[in-house]
């Protein structure tokens, strides 16, 4: 039974969709708990294991990270084969955008974990002198990580690295839409870790996630995926005051100014957009190009697409496929909203859509303007002035990523100051995600929280402030009665 079946049943009552989802989740959780009590028992066992304190020592955390690193190396071939089966990723793309990023994250965490765990000394105010103050990082407990299908290995494993470094026990929910990768991930986890420490839960996310969240209080929920599902998870978490990280999407613009290096801009936009057949949350969703350079830029785009993916991308080893029939049908519908100036071919049987460039999308209410495309279709728009370009960007505020191509430092600073976005690049696209020294996350509708590197460790721990006061100095002025000390207190608290 699914949320949808509950939705159809209760549609006779005029119930708002979000309320229906939550009501259905509650009822579904009750029914599924009766059918699957063992899962909740296993979650309680993970809580007991965490409370034993085993996961909290530096030695334990580093050892688990090393074990994960070795296991991923051992299974590199299996991971690559699974990613090819699910998304037609080449071995090089599978390593460069999935396995390699996780291995790098693990190495970085092992190297720096002892520093991250050291208490941070901070200043103490005058009132509390001669005390000393430190901030410790405390582990959270049992955390839930829910991954999407588009990068089904690394978007599950990079948060896991932070959760291990943070000293937690972890439930991993891989995407059922990438079943081959989910199966390999489960095999890796079962071979490497105790089920009381890290466990993979398979199944339909609309069933198992509400089941767990309604019947067990997690200490943090980390979700990557779509905005509608993110809202539903946020609502479930709020019922038990559970903190969340939501890594969502958005319509990320790429802006090409008149002074940009057009050859470089075209190559980097094409790479960022059509990697994984456009199924990347930080892919450029659309391009805004200055009208004076439009024609030249379009030619550069065409050259780059041909160079990267050949005249027949369907048989290219560098180009992927659409995840499933449902997404394929949605993407094909986008082709009707503009004039195709490059590409447009597709094959329903192989879930192939050619890298495609559209122009002439003038209807502001069309799906191309209002929905995240999440596929190999790149709408192109022109602008004359900065104000015009900014107004176009503001139609879809708070994008997850923002990309600007210009040779002007002044223009860089202006765009960065004027637009709210999660993160981005100047004269590049997407690769800021691979820099573990930069926090990655959204803003507004594109997400809550950040991770990567130390930011992952911070996400899966909490600050525990401590002030230590000596006993050798204990002036009576700090104790009642306080009458006549107002002037002194005002000075101490200035």
CA 168 to chain centre: 19
DSSP 299-339: HHHHHHHHHHH-S-GGG-TT----S-HHHHHHHHHHGGGSE
- Respond yes or no: is residue 303 known to be catalytic: no
DSSP 3-state of 358:
strand
* Residue 184 and residue 200 in contact, taking contact as beta carbons nearer than 8 Å: no
Helix, strand, coil proportions of the chain in percent (round to 5)? 50, 15, 30
Instruction: Provide φ and ψ at 136, rounded to 5°.
Output: -95, 160
Looking up tokens 């509650």, which residue turns up? 26
Cα 282 to chain centroid, rounded: 9
Starting at the edge strand that comes first in sequence, how are the strands of the sheet with 356-359 ordered?
A: 339-342, 356-359, 377-383, 286-290, 253-256, 401-405, 423-426
Active-site hit among 93, 98, 257, 281: 281
DSSP H or E run through 170: strand 169-173
> Which residues have a Cβ under 8 Å from the Cβ of 309 and sit 6 or more positions away?
274, 316, 318, 319, 355
Cross-strand pairs, 450: 441
61 and 167 Cβ atoms separated by less than 8 Å: yes
The catalytic position among 93, 98, 247, 257 is 247
What burial letters (b/e) apply to 9-23, b meaning 16+ CB within 10 Å?
Answer: eeeeeeeeeeebbbb
Please confirm, yes or no, whether 281 is among the known catalytic residues: yes
User: Length of the chain, please?
Assistant: 494
Are the beta carbons of 87 and 323 closer than 8 angstroms?
yes
CA distances from 18 to 78, 187, 217, 218 (A): 39, 36, 21, 22
Catalytic machinery residues: 247, 281
């Amino acid at each position: 039974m699914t949320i949808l079946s509950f939705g159809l049943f209760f549609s006779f009552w005029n119930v708002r969709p979000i309320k229906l989802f939550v009501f259905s989740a509650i009822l579904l959780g009750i029914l599924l708990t009766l059918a699957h009590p063992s899962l909740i028992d296993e979650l309680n066992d993970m809580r007991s294991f965490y409370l034993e304190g085993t996961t909290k020592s530096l030695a334990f955390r580093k050892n688990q990270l090393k074990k994960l690193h070795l296991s991923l190396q051992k299974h590199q071939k299996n991971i690559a084969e699974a990613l090819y089966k699910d998304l037609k990723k080449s071995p090089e793309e599978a390593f460069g955008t999935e396995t390699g990023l996780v291995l790098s994250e693990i190495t970085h965490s092992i190297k720096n974990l002892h520093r991250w765990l050291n208490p941070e000394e901070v200043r103490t105010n005058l009132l509390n002198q001669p005390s000393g103050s430190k901030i410790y990082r405390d582990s959270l407990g049992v955390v839930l990580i829910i991954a999407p299908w588009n990068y089904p290995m690394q978007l599950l494993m990079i948060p896991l690295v932070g959760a291990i470094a943070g000293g937690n026990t972890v439930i991993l929910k891989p995407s059922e839409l990438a079943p081959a990768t989910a199966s390999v991930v489960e095999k890796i986890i079962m071979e490497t870790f105790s089920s009381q420490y890290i466990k993979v839960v398979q199944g339909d996310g609309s069933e198992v996630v509400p089941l767990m969240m309604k019947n067990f209080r997690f200490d943090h929920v980390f979700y990557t995926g779509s905005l509608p599902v993110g809202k539903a998870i946020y609502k479930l978490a709020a019922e038990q005051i559970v903190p969340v990280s939501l890594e969502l999407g958005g319509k990320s613009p790429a802006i090409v100014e008149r002074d940009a290096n057009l050859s470089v801009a075209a190559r980097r936009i094409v790479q960022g957009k059509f990697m994984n057949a456009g199924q990347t949350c930080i892919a450029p969703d659309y391009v805004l190009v200055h009208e004076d350079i439009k024609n030249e830029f379009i030619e550069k785009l065409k050259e780059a697409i041909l160079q990267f993916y050949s005249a027949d991308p369907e048989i290219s080893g560098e180009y992927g496929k659409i995840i499933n029939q449902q997404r394929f049908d949605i993407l094909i519908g986008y082709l009707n909203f503009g004039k195709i100036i490059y590409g447009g071919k597709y094959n329903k049987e192989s879930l192939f859509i050619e890298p495609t460039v559209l122009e002439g999308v003038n209807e502001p209410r069309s799906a191309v303007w209002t929905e995240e495309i999440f596929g190999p279709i790149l709408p192109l728009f022109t602008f004359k002035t900065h104000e015009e370009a900014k107004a176009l960007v503001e139609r879809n505020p708070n994008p997850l990523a923002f990309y600007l191509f210009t040779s002007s430092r002044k223009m860089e600073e202006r765009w960065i100051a004027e637009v709210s976005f999660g993160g981005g690049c100047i004269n590049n696209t997407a690769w800021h995600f691979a820099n573990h020294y930069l926090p990655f996350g959204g803003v507004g509708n594109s997400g809550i929280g950040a991770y990567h590197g130390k930011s992952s460790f911070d996400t899966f721990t909490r600050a525990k402030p401590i002030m230590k006061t000596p006993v050798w100095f204990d002036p009576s002025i700090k104790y009642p009665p306080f009458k006549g000390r107002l002037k002194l207190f005002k000075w101490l608290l200035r």
